[in-house]
Structure formats: C-alpha cells, structure tokens
Structure 1
Amino acid sequence: MPIDDSVPSHDRGIRRLRLPALNANARVIFALFMIHVVCSSAPLGIPALIPFIQSDLGLSLTELGGLSASLSLGVAAAGLFTGWSGDIFGIRVMAGIGLSLAGIAFFIASQSTTIPALVVLFALAGAGYSTITPATNKIVLQRVEKRLWGTAMGIKQTGASVSGFLTALLFPIIGVHFGWSTALAGAGAAIMICGITVFIVHRDPPAGDRQASRGNQRSLRRLLTNRDLVLLCVETALRVGIQFAVLTYLLLFSLDELKLSVPAGAAILAVCQIAGAVGRIFWGVVSDYCFGGRRKVVYVPLAFAASAILLLLSFCDAATPLPLLFLVAAGIGVSALGFQGLGFSLTVAVVPQENVGAASGLSMAFAFSGAVVMTPMFGYIVEHTHLFERAWQALALVAMASACIVLFVREPVAEKAPAAAE
C-alpha cells in the first residue's frame, strides 16, 4: 500500500495505531446497539399493544399496570443473580441462555389468553431479559476504550429506544390487522434467535480472568456497603419507574384523554421513544467531550428537566395543539427516557471493574423494583381520581426526588486522556 509522503512519518504512525482501535470500538458498539434493538422489541413493544390487550382481555388500568409490572418483577428478581453469573460464568452463558429464555417466554405468552398465564410468562421473560444490561455493560468495559465509555453506554442503550420507536409505529398496525399476539410472537422469535447467536458467536476472556473476578466477589456486603452505589440504585429505581409508567400509559392517555386517533397516539409514543434514543447518545457525548467524562453535571439537570416537562404534560388536554403535544413528548423522551447511558456510566464508575457485572445486576434489581411499584400505582391514581393529571404530577415529584438523590453521590474524578502526541 503506497504511503502518502505529505503526511509526516510521526502522524502516519499515529494513524496506523488509531484507526484499527477506532474500528474495533465502532464494531463492538454497533453490535451491542443491535442486540438492544432486537432484544428490547418485546419488552418495549408491549406498551404499543396495551390498548389491544386491554380490549381483548377486558382489563382495568390497575390490572394493565400489574401485567406490565410482572415483566419488571422478573427483571428485579433475577437481576442480581444474572449480574453475578456474568462475572463468574461469563457473558456467553449468561446472556445466551437468558435471552433465549426470554424469547421463548414471549413467544408462548403470545398464545396465552388468561391473565395468570401472561403474568407468569412475562415474569419469566423479564428474568431472561435481565441479562442484557449486565452483559453489555461488561462488554463495554472489556472491549471499548475508557475515554469512550459514556458515549458507548449511551449508544448501546439507544438501541432500546430505537426498538421502542419502531415497535410504537409498527405494533399498532400489526395489532389492528393481525392481533397483538402476532406482533408479540414475532418479537419473541427474534429475541430467541439473538440469544442463540450470542451463545454461538461470543467469546469470553480466559477463564483465569473470571476466576480472579470470582475471588473478588465473596459477598454482597461489599456492594451494599458502597454508599454511592446504593444511592444510585435507589435513584435508578425512581427513574426507571417513571420510564415504565410513561411508556405503559402514554398511548392510553393520548387516546382517552387527548382524544387522538390510534395513528396519532402511536406517533406520540414513537416520538417519545426516538427522542429518548437521541438523548441517550447526545447526553453521553456531551458528558464525554464537553465535561471530560463527568456525569453528574449532566445527569442532575436532566432529572429536573424531566420533572418540569412531566408537570407540563399534566396540563395537556384535548384542546392542546398537536404540534405542542409532539414537543412535550419529545421533551419527555430526551429527559425522562434519555438518562440511561449516563446512569450506567456513573454506576460502573463507583465500583471496582471486577464488580461491574454484579453492580449492574444489583442496579437492575432496584431499577425494575421501581417499575413494579410505580406502573400499577400510576394506574391506581388514575382510576381513583379519574384524572391523568394527578398521576403525571406524581411522576414529576418523583423525578425531582431522583435529582436530589444524585446530588449526594460522590462521583470519582475522571482521568484525563493522554495528549495526542504521546
């Protein structure tokens, strides 16, 4: 290959060193992004199917919240175990088996017509789905340069929002023409194939590295006595609870309270999802490149912004102009759904690297416990006050509380990247 003599030899050396690394980072991040796109299709597609499930099974709002919460319950119950299993047995076994289980459970659920069966199957699917975040977090730390961790976390988590956006557009159409079971069956099959692919393709680090990791994780006490990790786990429970409540009820709110058509309501949900995807990437880039890897300086204002926009949503009604509704939905997506990349980056920063899998699992257990409580609670508030307004205002208060909690987290000092010439 000819060498460009116009480029100094020193710069040519830098290019030869950097381009392969950049390509390796990009390949890993893209693969993780696609895993989240595929494997989030059922969990984040269920909100788009809620009106059809409610119509077919005759559920109340509280029962709908409970059905959605059963998925979160499975994630919460299995989250800690899956985090530890990833550190001990490796990502290939944990994620390969877990995601395959999730896909099978969603597929069987698509053929079920009773609430007890759906609750059990959604819980099993949630247990399998709980493997995705510890697995992909650990891969970022193993395979991506540290200076890109915030961006990588944001991009991979954006896969979930992109999946939610696509399912918000497609699932209502499928639901109208073929029924909600067809959409859920297709998503379950795709997740199962993804799990099998991970099991076949992924290669973990040498067993000796995992054995060393096992020796460093002798008890749960090490994590539970980490003050900053516990604060972040509680805060994440609040934020994920908000996220699931928004995704579960936004379409119903659009149809029942705002009096929108099904396509317009689905578009509102889709805008919220895609704005969340943009936010997860954007805030990670801002944190990495504008604030030198500091997370709190972005994370805290984001929670206050979510509180303000949720409060604004509580005042929307059927007379609100459609363009304003789209702007509010986008604002909620960017703030209330766009936090996860930063949140995971902050979580993994406050624990030793060998504990990242277990810490991610513990964080997920707390996070989805918040969803278990807050999703049916939202429906309960609406049913007993007959006002969506009160429920949105309650979420605004929760978002404000989450911001206040993060203020007490001690963020590690970010390491400065080496100079380009070094």
Structure 2
Amino acid sequence: MSSFFFIIRNMAAWGVVFATSLIMWSAFSHKSPPWFIVITGLGAIAWAMVSAFSHVRRVRLITDRTDSTSFASRHRRRFELPLEADAAFDLVDATIRELPYVESCESSRPNLRVRARVKRMDPYMSSKKGAKEMMGSSGAIRNQVLATVTPGSGTCSVMVICEPEGGAWVDWFLVDDGTNLENMEAISRAITRRTSELRRTEQESAQQTATEKELTVAKLSLLHAQVEPHFLYNTLASAQYLTRSDPARADQMLGHLITYLRRSLPRTEDALSTIGDELERAVAYLEILKIRMGERLDMQVQVPDNLKTVPMPAMMLQTLVENAIKHGLEPVTGGGTVWVLARETDGKVAVTVADDGRGFHDASAGTGIGLKNVRERLKLAYGDAASFAIVANFPKGVAATITVPARGPSGGANA
C-alpha cells in the first residue's frame, strides 16, 4: 500500500504541474493548448509513474522494509557506539571516505562533523569501463552524506543523513532509484563491521594481557618457591657451624633467616606488597650475607618511614639486591657496599639499589631474566606510570632504580 501511494504521489505532483501549465496557457493566450504540449504533459506523467515504479522495485531489492520511510530519497539513522568521541569520529570519517564514487569529503574534528558529495550512478546501466553516472535531470543532482558525532560518557551517538542535493521539493518530482538508501545501508554495514573489529581487537588485547599476567604470576610463584636453594643451604650450614663456635651469631643468623622466609611466603595473585615489607626481607637477606661475608660486605639503608607504606610489587627489591651481590660484589675480592635508597618526587617514589662492585662487565653479566621480569611486572601493574632504569654507578658499580606512583596502581591490574 505504501508503494502504491508513493507512485500516486509522484504522478499527482507532475499532474498538478501539468494542469497548472494548461490553466496559465489558457489564461494568457485565450486559446486551448496545442496538442504537442498536451502530449508532452501526459508523457511527463507517464514517465513519473514509470520512474516511481522502478524506484519502488529497487528499494524492495535493497531492503525488506516497504514503508514510506524506505521509499523516501532522504534517510536518517542514528548509531550508538561504545567509543570515545575522537575514536568514533575517525571510524565514521574513514567509513564515509571509502564509499564508492565519493567526489569530495570535508571533515571537521573540532565540530565532529563529516560532509561528503557522492556521484549519483545509474544502477541499471554499466559498460566495460564500469558504472555510468545517471543522465538527465536525476544525473544533474548529486547525493550527499552528513554525519555528526555527539559525545557521551564513555559512548557516543552518531547521526548520519543521506539525501540528494537540493530542496525538499525535488523529492516530489524526482526519485533517486534507491541510491541514498544504498549509501545508508553501506555506511551501516561498514560501521557495524569496524565496531566489531575494534571490539575483537580489544578482546584479543585483553586476553593477551591476561595471559601475560598469568605468565608473570607463574614466574613470581616459581621465584617464591625457589628461594635460592643454594642461599638457603649455605645459610643453614653456616648457622650449624656457628652453633658450635659462636652461638650468639648463629641465633642472630637464624633470626634473620626466619624474617627472610616469612616475607618470602607467596601472596595472593593480585596482592601488592609494600616498600617496608620488601625492605625488611632485603635487609634480612643482607644481614645473613654480612654474617657470612664478614667485612667484605657493608650496607647502607636510607628509606624514610613515611615511604614504607607505599605499595610495591613483591620480590622486585629482592631481585635488585640479589643482582647487586651476585653480579656486583661477589666477583670482587674485597667486596663492597650495597645501598638501598628511597625518595619521593612529584607524587612518585624512586627506590634505588646501588653497589660499588664490578659494574657492567661481560664476565659478570647474567641472563637478564630477573630484570626483564621486573619490567614486565611493572608494565602490567602500572602501565606507563612506573619505570625501571639501570645505569653505571659512580665511581664504580651499578645503580638500579624502580619508580612507582606513591598512591599505587590506579585502575591497573596489580602484579
């Protein structure tokens, strides 16, 4: 029924123009219009009927809807996208620019608007060189696309309008053979496809991040489980020896070992430690080595009390201290000093472990797995808000610094 009224409406519009022309001819010339004018008018009405019928048939091929909105030459559609305004604007702009037969496209990012002119191609005529532009009165009119992005909270709304150039009166006399509806359907499909691709990419990225996190947690659990077996055996052997020669020092060593082991118990998967807890373990570790190494090892700890409650991933400080001993001081005959420092600047806390040992040297270089693990865990826990740097110490040795936000991770996953 809607298609019938659409055809009748177009014929009536041309009929009114024809009747008005006849009346004006008779009023000014006082004669009946010549036969060729009458035939031309009737031919125009017949042409309007055929064009409208062809338009209806093609619209039915494009879409299953057969209401008055589908048969119109102007279409408006709203899309709700789960994107920020800038991302939605880029998506819509790229979608419109990729429409077939776009003549020009103007986009304004500050205003979040895109406007494009599209050639009106004849959907029925084609040649070996490709599709042809519409001829006659329909070919003289171009189609246009206007898209406006309205920002929201975490989402945005996109209004897309596809219409012919010219005023609304054009719609009463000329049809677009469904070309604007075809453009609207193409834009709708492209926006849906691009949004799905973005969601799939985000899901894959989130899955990859979750996998990396699980891998890092597994490495951390393995690190907790190992607790340096040689260190544990050597400490117990030293304590056994001291129980016979120096019971007081043996008792002191076992006390430090208990503190070290207590702080080395695995935490829950996402639980952060604190600088104070990590410092207690590192000091216990150094005190044990100091008893074993004697005057070859000295340590300096400068960590303000107010920074000991700052959240920090577990085992990171311990990794840096162990590296300072293993790669810095142990290869040196005379030993040296390990410094553990902490300072706060601009809302961030830098924890530094430095030594005056061998420094960067091929013979003392390790596999780098521990430092790589530190970087990966910082990335997972803090994103770009944390950093890790290792440089040469002056006049000799190495200084490694972990910088974390004083308030802990904000919205990121805890390592």
TM bucket by the smaller chain?
under 0.3
What TM-score results when the alignment is normalised by the length of structure 1? Answer: 0.21
What TM-score results when the alignment is normalised by the length of structure 2? Answer: 0.21
Q: Which has the larger radius of gyration?
A: 2
